[in-house]
Amino acid sequence: MSGELSPIDKAKFVAAKRSVDYVEDGMRVGLGTGSTAAWMVRCLGELVRDDGLKIRGVPSSTRTAELARDVGIEVISIDEAKWLDLTIDGADEFDGNLNLIKGGGGALLQEKIVATASDQMIVIADIGKEVEHLGAFPLPVEVIPFGWQTTRALIEELLVSMDVLGRDASLRMNGRHPYVTDEGNYILDLHLGRIGDPHQMAMVLNQMPGVVENGLFMDICDIVIIGHGNGKVETRDINEGTVEEDRLDFVESDNLFSDLQD
């Protein structure tokens, strides 16, 4: 496998591979969305196929649900599960307090519902996702289509009084048409540069009519697993205050990752 993967994909893979060590037989597991989460779903599928692992997965998007079924994971809804033992997901950014920006893949609403309905949330990411201050990655905000331009104008007006470097809000597009989430909503990407007070930002955005949810995941993540291109894996547990390092080897084999596209 090592000859087939770029350094960034190696980093994603080793983080995903380490994360499934937390999954135990009989668990209800939240399955995240995005390129790194896709590696994790494939790793779980391999355990289901080869080791007989029995879990029920609650996907955070339709595309994750399709992938999970393809690799043999039993898929149930969040309402069927009621509560989850664990959620594993990626992130677009994370800071030293394990606060996150998520939503680059357009699934932030369902991702936040799944994560907050879990006993524990593990984030898997490559080392490039770590930042000193959140905000370099555009902050996704899910809004209802009705009056979205008014909502955008109100958000940009709000940002004048916030501790940010930029104030532009752009509608996410899918070709010539607005990107539509699984819940039928639009996404505004806020180009902020730096968010001085992310807790305040998350709170005031969700108080605005027209806003469904924002991509700031505050005080939700318990563990972040960081992958490096050389196979090194760093695990930070914010509750235990521990940092552990390990290294995973790559093995050339015909496995479930052969057709995975980033």
Active-site positions read: 111
Runs of H (alpha helix) within 27-121 = 35-51, 62-70, 78-81, 108-116
Runs of H (alpha helix) within 170-233 = 198-206
Whether 231 has a binding-site annotation, put simply, is no
Residue tagged 């664990």 (tokens): 86
Whether 105 has a binding-site annotation, put simply, is yes
| Contact criterion met (CB below 8 Å) for 185 and 142 | yes
Whether 129 has a binding-site annotation, put simply, is yes
Complete edge-to-edge strand list for the sheet that includes strand 100-101 = 93-94, 100-101, 216-217
Whether 92 has a binding-site annotation, put simply, is yes
- Residues in contact with 259: Cβ distance below 8 Å, sequence separation at least 6, in sequence order: none
Whether 103 has a binding-site annotation, put simply, is yes
Question: How many angstroms separate the CA atoms of 227 and 12, rounded?
Answer: 6
**Max Cα distance, the chain (Å):** 55
Give the number of C-alpha atoms closer than 13 A to the C-alpha of residue 177, restricted to the C-beta side: 5
Whether 90 has a binding-site annotation, put simply, is yes
Whether 135 has a binding-site annotation, put simply, is no
Whether 184 has a binding-site annotation, put simply, is no
Whether 262 has a binding-site annotation, put simply, is no
Q: Which of 209, 200, 213 is nearest to 150 (CA)?
A: 209
Whether 210 has a binding-site annotation, put simply, is no
Whether 91 has a binding-site annotation, put simply, is yes
Whether 215 has a binding-site annotation, put simply, is no
Q: Which of 259, 218, 260 is nearest to 116 (CA)?
A: 218
| Contact criterion met (CB below 8 Å) for 214 and 208 | no
Q: Where is the binding site, in residues?
A: 33-36, 89-92, 102-105, 129
Q: Where is the binding site for substrate, in residues?
A: 33-36, 89-92, 102-105, 129
